[in-house]
Chains A and B, each alone.
Chain A
Amino acid sequence: MTRTFTLLASVAALACAPSPLVAQTTDLGEPLAEGGEVETTGTQASGEDAEGGLTFTVTDESDWSDIGVAIPAFATDRNRPTPASTDGTEALGREIARVITANLRNNGLFKPVGPDSLPQPDFSQITSPAWGSWSGRGAEMLVHGYVRARDDEKLVVGCYLYDVALKDELIREGWVVRPADWRRAAHKCSDLIYARLTGEDPFFDSRIAYIAETGPKDNRVKRLAVMDSDGANHRFITLGSATALTPRYSPDYSKILYLSYVDGNPRIYVYDIGSGRQQLVTENANPTLAPRWSPDGRHILYSMAVAGNTDIYRVPVTGGTPERLTSAPGIDIAGSYSPDGSKIVFESDRSGAQQCYVMDADGTNQRRISFFGGRCATPEWSPRGDQIAFTRIAGDFNVAVMTPSGGSMRVLTRGWQDEAPTWAPNGRIIQFFRTARNSGRSSLWQVDLTGRNERRLPTPVDASDPAWGPIRP
């Protein structure tokens, strides 16, 4: 008798309401390997850190986009085998310089010249550049660096930035990384150069979660995937049997919020990167949509549809009772916190069409901010706090920015359907996805705040819903 009942119950569960335990594991791949730590270290050579920076002020990318930067291969004290490169530390040094060159070039900010067309300095020249050979090459800035494999296999990478005309060192830094994390050292060096030359915060050493898309338009497979900011270290997290959408990295990169149809309904899950497990953001029969983290990573903002009406809720990551923040009839969705956590920008169609609104974090003081014609959707508050990026719908769909009070609206892109902006950690670059007319093919793009530097990000397959994480610790 007991046995019969058990059988019935399990049949029922399969047929009607898959239990969360069953549902949670059906579309997940193997957990990702945990990332290693990057330790900042003193650089090998002596010398005092230059203070003070450059004397010009950056007002626009065009002011410094012509700066030539020479990035020859990083030297090594002794060519040793390393798990990071079958050809040893010397080849790895060249590869690091290539990664830095690609970073600086791809973002349209500088004119970098890479190791494949430059002489290779030897180890002793890293701290005392051969000025004569560089000043004749037209590069204003010179990057030197070295790679050293320690006996414990960890790599020490040093990075130096020189002003060729001044024959002076501008900044230096060094890092100790596991061999598997060698690209992070290249990104840290890119960030050091970028931050020093622009006065902006860094952004290269960061990761992106997104949705990888394959298959025909009426049967698209949509998988959760992650990659470095330059597209390297790409991994799929879900297997593709259930549609996955709208991921968001947690501020500490330990978790990813995303929507999955794994139990047949659109629901938000919290995926734990270390364990490879996930759980529902809230135990509830209703669809949950549009997940976002609070800046401190302690709360989750999401929308829930109840009997067709969608409102914004907030729940602690540790669980507990969700708090409802909006109650207007209509669709209130896509809430995004200001970087200090005190305010939330969101979209609502309470006026009859999608427009953007700001409210205090407790849901009070709701007021519309978008009054420039067209519709305002998917607002994302910049990590700097000074801008809100959004999808502007006015015929075509384009990525635009405005101030938090709705002023100074500027359209940055010109695609047929560009949507879902996400900010670089430094608030200077925006990624979004572009859908092609008719074919429905989707791809990731990024654009700077001038709108002039736009480029497509390389992804193994079609891609949508990018979510840029913060600078890695």
Chain B
Amino acid sequence: MNISLSRCAAAALVTSSLALAACSKEAPEELPPAPAETSAPTDTRPAPTPTGPTVGTQEHFADAVGSSTTVYFDTDRYNIDSQDAAALQAQAQYFARYPQVNFTIEGHADERGTREYNLALGERRANAAKNYLVSLGVSPDRIRTVSYGKERPVALASTPEAWARNRRAASVVIN
């Protein structure tokens, strides 16, 4: 408990300083005037340093791994297939590169299951993804799991295509 508390405290401090950093980068309310169009085409000044999303945000994670933030499952299944494995490998590389980032794996099910069973199924999917990441060297202490069952669909139709998109385990950076 003490250990996890201090880890949490540290994480909270890191998170809040990141949040502060993020805040300080917010655009001022009054934007400077746009540069004149005419000077742009011939401008040869070096490009400004890219200011992408900050490490520790979901945006940064998604920029790095693309669609691999989420893995998908067959109906009533939770096994990691080769496509899932590739996505989780991309995630594992990211989390190895940014060891300060902790994350939640959200397990979901499609609407064509009973509510209670789907909560358990989502839990099983989240754990399957977690176990695979742990097997790739990500510390289990960095991974929280939560199941939302069928309560939080991303695709809203009642079609096989929508159900396939909802049977998922989504990794979400804790910030």
Taking Cβ atoms with an 8 Å cutoff, the residues of A that contact B are 8-9, 11-17, 216-218, 220, 222, 243, 245-246, 259, 264-266, 287, 289-290, 303, 305, 307-310, 331, 333-334, 347, 349, 353-354, 377-378, 391, 393, 397, 417, 419-420, 435, 437-438, 440, 464-465
Contact = CB atoms under 8 A, between A and B. Distances in A.
A377 B119 CA distance: 13
Contact of A303 (B5, B6, B120): B120
Interface of B: 4-6, 8-9, 11-13, 15-16, 76, 78, 111-112, 114-117, 119-121, 123-124, 126-128, 131, 146-147, 149, 151-154, 156-158
Given A287-B123, A305-B120, A305-B123, A12 B12 contact: yes
Given A264-B146, A440-B156, A245 B115 contact: yes
Given A243-B151, A266-B146, A391 B11 contact: no
B153 A15 contact: no
A437 B158 contact: yes
List of 7 A-B pairs having minimum Cβ-Cβ separation, nearest first: A308-B127, A16-B8, A15-B12, A12-B8, A12-B9, A310-B120, A305-B123
B55 to A, nearest CB: 18
Contacts of B154: 218
B151 A245 contact: yes
Looking at B4, B119, B131, the one whose CB has the most chain A CB atoms below 10 A away is: B119
B117 A11 contact: no
Given A12-B12, A16-B8, A217 B153 contact: yes
A264 to B, nearest CB: 7
Contacts of B153: 217-218, 440
Given A217-B156, A287-B123, A11 B116 contact: no
A60 to B, nearest CB: 30
A109 to B, nearest CB: 30
A218 B152 contact: yes
A6 B123 CA distance: 34
A308 B124 contact: yes
A372 B37 CA distance: 74
B116 A290 contact: yes
A469 to B, nearest CB: 19
B13 to A, nearest CB: 8
Nearest to B102: A16
13 contacts: A11-B12, A11-B13, A12-B5, A216-B156, A218-B154, A259-B119, A308-B123, A331-B124, A334-B114, A347-B117, A419-B114, A419-B115, A440-B158
Given A12-B11, A243-B151, A420-B114, 4 more contacts: A13-B8, A287-B147, A305-B123, A305-B147
B119 A289 contact: yes
Contacts of B76: 349, 353
A438 B158 contact: yes
B154 to A, nearest CB: 7
B151 A15 contact: no
Contacts of B126: 308
Contacts of A333: 116-117, 120
Contact of B120 (A17, A289, A420, A438): A289
A323 B11 CA distance: 35
A354 B158 CA distance: 21
A287 B156 contact: no
A411 to B, nearest CB: 16
A392 B28 CA distance: 58
A266 B109 CA distance: 15
B104 to A, nearest CB: 9
B4 A17 contact: yes
B115 A438 contact: no
Looking at B8, B111, B117, the one whose CB has the most chain A CB atoms below 10 A away is: B117
Contacts of A9: 5, 9
A16 B11 contact: yes
Given A220-B151, A305-B147, A308-B128, A420 B115 contact: yes
Contacts of A245: 115, 119, 151
B87 to A, nearest CB: 19
Contacts of B5: 9, 12, 17
Nearest to A216: B156
A71 to B, nearest CB: 39
Given A310-B123, A331-B124, A378 B116 contact: yes
Nearest to A393: B114
Contact of A15 (B15, B121, B123): B15
Contacts of B9: 8-9, 11-12
A289 B123 CA distance: 11
Contact of B8 (A17, A310, A417, A420): A17
A303 B147 CA distance: 14
A287 B78 CA distance: 18
Nearest to B154: A218
B111 A246 contact: no
A12 B2 CA distance: 11
Nearest to A245: B115
A473 to B, nearest CB: 29
Looking at B4, B8, B114, the one whose CB has the most chain A CB atoms below 10 A away is: B114
Contacts of B124: 305, 308-310, 331
